[in-house]
Structure 1
Amino acid sequence: MALGGAGSAGPGSGRGPEVRPAWIDGPISVLLVEDDDADAFLVSELLADADVEADLRAELHRARSVDEALGVLSMVAVDCLLLDLGLPDAEGLGALRRVIDGIDVLPVQPAVVVLTGNTSHDLGAAAVANGADDYLVKGEVDGDALARCLRYATLRRRSAAQQIALYRSEVRAAETTRLERALLPKELVTDEKVSVMVGYLPGGNGLLGGDFFDTVERPDGTLVTVIGDVAGHGPDEAALGAAMRTAWRTLVLADTPADNVLPLLERVLLAERGRPEVFVTICQAVISPDRSRMDVYLAGHLPPLLVVPRTSTDSAAQVTHHCEELPSVRRGRALGIPVDGGWSAHTVELPEVWTAVLYTDGLVEAAVGADPKGTPVLAPSAHGRMPRLGAHGLRSVVEREMDQGTDEVVTRVLRRVRELHGGPLVDDAALLFVGWAGAGATGPPERTSTLADSVEWSRA
């Protein structure tokens, strides 16, 4: 049967010198969406001929409607889709639009070649204009031409995917270069017994978001640290987060009283935000010069964790850690929320040796069910939804990683949360460890920063 021929711009048109496509290693997976059994049989025969004549091996799957095809695509990785434009549940360009909408959500999108009986090529050209990679006219092609059409369509789609991936990589690199200094600032801390370790893990698309953090030591030895989260995700939020961090550092360096920092920072937010619904949550901690007391200011943000080492009494003298969530008393509203209320400090007495952990909600909102080995971590809810890691889960992760030492502990915590989540986190995650090793400490403090690209980590 001569089932189809490529359109005038396609590789199967036979016009102009033949250009051999780049070789495709291995078989390609083809999904035929065709309700006519006779036509489906003839397509399989043409593909069998293509294996011999054009050296194209194809694994053929079949669906009889658009709904069935979308179901197959959700379970099977398909390189190319052959779509008949006359189906029981959709006809013409309507069928194509439903398929295009369906494949847009797939991580790897197949090429789409439409089958049309319109010998004037008008419908085929319209299909290409509406998102198809090529078209075939029933009755005008043999096995070799079909093979060339499928091969070219698949290669074009793969090339387009590579171009998109390259573009996203370039955008990500540009955003990282522009915002890395603002989001991962060099701490202004001179105390040789204070450690500062920070990490930033962008959400699913790998672009930086609006989380920010900073740590500054004032001339009198007071240590001031902050972590914040701009509502939303994207370059605008990232730029606003960078502006908020810069404004915060400026206020602290100007010796602004701690009680006045958040009100003044809100004034900056109201002037800089692009939309009135944008708000910012903040946790600010002010640590006394003798490191024995911490004043915690919460503006709609999660309270910090406090990690304290514990030494066992056995001969091995093994050091373990206890991590607890500080109370969220006196938590005020988020910056930018138009309701009454300000912010006041909750004072926490600190032990001789301690580590304060400030974080954004991207970590505790990670959905977890089982670790990479399949071991259950938390049981699903009654509705079958995976539970969130929560502050209690993050405490367990921090304790586990701190027990292994402080070397790259921020990176290890971020990796562990991501592993429990099973892939890139949905939201950005920022993590800030500020520690005091005690008045008698002699070792150098930990000063590290991590900007973790979730796309790169997804390959790990």
Structure 2
Amino acid sequence: MTAAGPGTPQAAPDPSHYRILLIEDDPGDAVLVEELLHDSGLSFELTHRTTLTAARTELTADRADCVLLDLHLPDVSGIDALTAVRTLAPHTAVIVLTGLSEAQAGSDAMAAGAQDYLVKGKVEPDLLHRTVRYAVHRSQTERANVQAQTARQRAEENARLERGLLPQPLLDTSSIRVTSRYLPGAELALLGGDFLDVVEGDDGLLHAVVGDVSGHGPDAAALGVFLRIAWRALVLGGHRGEDLLHLMERILIAERGSLSLFATCTVLTLDQHAPTITFHLAGHHEPLLTTAEGTHEVTAAHGIALGIVPGLRSWPSTTVPLPPSGALTLYTDGLTEGHGGADRERLGVEGLLTLIENLPPAEPAAHVDRLIRETHRLNAGRHSDDLAVLRLDWGDLTSPS
């Protein structure tokens, strides 16, 4: 049975419209409740079911703002009935209907999670009006509190992951300026598996890493944190090049367990005194080098991603001269995987270089932010992959041409 109201109101009309589910097996009581609702002045839509089993669809589909529940149903009774309803619809207001001889039942029901209770035979239209309104309001407040608590917990988790994936650069005497940015791919997602870091060793050399763990979500993020922390500890411990990547791969294999995750990364050492930059690419793409003449990809030898063929240890090095002034940009696929232009083709490195060329001069942080905004604009706001950008600036160059 489904009925709509209001009828002839005897209470002040309420602007809200309530979807009310009545679970009552007694036909006479059901008719009485419907009449009281019509007389209450509430704007409502009433659905009547005679058993909990019959009401299951409405409960699980969140089709009710308020449930009027008889505690004595053919398929369940007492507090068990209330518990079942709360389990199926935890964020829906529940008002228990009790008999005249059940003095304690209403209090017990509220202790078990009901918003309120009404005694059959003692309900007037204005009482029903107030009870439904307040019960729904309390239920909505409880839901909002739960959502706020969940948001706080999510923010705390996000902050912990941020500290793991996006650490403060560890610099002592280096004059290199560091700019880093990170964006998770999925909307409202925790941080994904991209990671980056910069440290200055005791030898005065600057070391950097940008990496990308396959997949998204907490498993990829956790593995990214492990690899980032491992990289920093290993670099400070004096490990370099192929030896460094071999140890990172061992850690990845140990921490991924049964998951088929792998990671790509670029590790580099910048020596301002030599002056040179030495790269190792583990399944990752080349960095971008910006000088007064423009921006281009650094031609570098490629190695295999970590965890693809454990033990192969194929990570050749590439050393290039360090210009007197310039900028080096390391990034993950999120910066180039989007689509842009009239043909909607993948942006790719060539498209990224074109964007950089057309951006107006700006200081490093503003330039990185504008570049990210422009890639998102071309991709029509569809941001599907995690994105990490690390830019290192030295000398007098403050913006690409």
Same-fold status (TM-score > 0.5): yes
Specify the code of the residue in structure 1 equivalent to 2:183: L
Q: Which residue of 1 aligns with 2:329?
A: 357
Specify the code of the residue in structure 2 equivalent to 1:57: P
Distance 1:120 1:255, change over 3 A: closer
Distance 1:166 1:413, change over 3 A: farther
Specify the code of the residue in structure 2 equivalent to 1:323: T
Looking at structure 2, the residues matched to 426 and 168 of structure 1 have their Cα atoms a distance apart, in angstroms, of: 22
Deviation at 1:262, TM superposition (A): 0.9
Give the secondary-structure state (helix, strand or coil) at the position aligned to 1:185: coil
Looking at structure 2, the residues matched to 130 and 308 of structure 1 have their Cα atoms a distance apart, in angstroms, of: 63
The share of aligned pairs that are identical, in percent, is 31
Specify the code of the residue in structure 1 equivalent to 2:304: R
* Structure possessing the higher radius of gyration over alpha carbons: 2
| Preserved CA contact (<8 Å) 2:282 2:304 | yes
| Preserved CA contact (<8 Å) 1:202 1:428 | yes
Q: Which residue of 2 aligns with 1:324?
A: 296
Distance 1:163 1:129, change over 3 A: closer
Deviation at 1:158, TM superposition (A): 4.9
| Preserved CA contact (<8 Å) 2:58 2:64 | no
Specify the code of the residue in structure 1 equivalent to 2:329: V
- The correspondence of residues 420-431 of structure 1 with structure 2, limited to 5 A, is 425-431=383-389
Gaps of 5+ in 2: 20-42, 97-119
Q: Which residue of 2 aligns with 1:72?
A: none
- The correspondence of residues 333-344 of structure 1 with structure 2, limited to 5 A, is 333-338=304-309, 340=312, 342-344=314-316
Distance 1:116 1:434, change over 3 A: same
Distance 1:161 1:275, change over 3 A: farther
Deviation at 1:59, TM superposition (A): 6.4
Deviation at 1:196, TM superposition (A): 1.3
Give the secondary-structure state (helix, strand or coil) at the position aligned to 1:145: helix
- The correspondence of residues 39-438 of structure 1 with structure 2, limited to 5 A, is 39=2, 43-46=4-7, 49=9, 53-58=11-16, 84=47, 92-97=55-60, 99-100=61-62, 112-113=65-66, 120=73, 125=82, 126-131=84-89, 133-134=92-93, 145=128, 148-149=131-132, 152-153=135-136, 155-177=138-160, 179-180=162-163, 183-188=166-171, 190-192=173-175, 194-203=176-185, 204-218=187-201, 221-290=204-273, 293-310=276-293, 322-327=294-299, 330-338=301-309, 340=312, 342-366=314-338, 378-379=341-342, 389-399=347-357, 403-417=361-375, 425-437=383-395
Give the secondary-structure state (helix, strand or coil) at the position aligned to 1:170: helix
Deviation at 1:269, TM superposition (A): 1.8
TM-score (structure 1 length as normaliser): 0.59
| Preserved CA contact (<8 Å) 1:222 1:289 | yes
Deviation at 1:266, TM superposition (A): 0.8
Distance 1:166 1:191, change over 3 A: same
Give the secondary-structure state (helix, strand or coil) at the position aligned to 1:180: helix
Q: Which residue of 1 aligns with 2:110?
A: none
In the comparison of the two structures, how many residue pairs are matched? 341
Deviation at 1:357, TM superposition (A): 1.0
Looking at structure 2, the residues matched to 120 and 258 of structure 1 have their Cα atoms a distance apart, in angstroms, of: 72
Give the secondary-structure state (helix, strand or coil) at the position aligned to 2:308: coil
Q: Which residue of 2 aligns with 1:71?
A: none
Give the secondary-structure state (helix, strand or coil) at the position aligned to 2:6: helix
Looking at structure 2, the residues matched to 395 and 165 of structure 1 have their Cα atoms a distance apart, in angstroms, of: 42
Distance 1:149 1:224, change over 3 A: same
| Preserved CA contact (<8 Å) 2:179 2:365 | no
Deviation at 1:432, TM superposition (A): 0.4
TM-score (structure 2 length as normaliser): 0.66
- Deviations 1:351-372 (CA, angstroms, capped at 9, x unpaired): 4432111112233345x6xxxx
What RMSD, in angstroms, separates the aligned Cα atoms of the two structures?
4.4
| Preserved CA contact (<8 Å) 1:113 1:150 | no
Gaps of 5+ in 1: 1-35, 62-79, 101-109, 311-321, 369-376, 382-386, 447-460
- Deviations 1:297-343 (CA, angstroms, capped at 9, x unpaired): 22122322222335xxxxxxxxxxx433445x633322112365611
Looking at structure 2, the residues matched to 214 and 429 of structure 1 have their Cα atoms a distance apart, in angstroms, of: 14
- Deviations 1:382-441 (CA, angstroms, capped at 9, x unpaired): xxxxx655444544554555623325444444455556666694443221001222xxx4
Which structure is richer in relative contact order (CA contacts within 8 A, separation 6 or more)? 1
Specify the code of the residue in structure 2 equivalent to 1:273: R
Looking at structure 1, the residues matched to 341 and 144 of structure 2 have their Cα atoms a distance apart, in angstroms, of: 37
Looking at structure 2, the residues matched to 434 and 212 of structure 1 have their Cα atoms a distance apart, in angstroms, of: 16
| Preserved CA contact (<8 Å) 2:171 2:200 | yes
Give the secondary-structure state (helix, strand or coil) at the position aligned to 1:335: coil
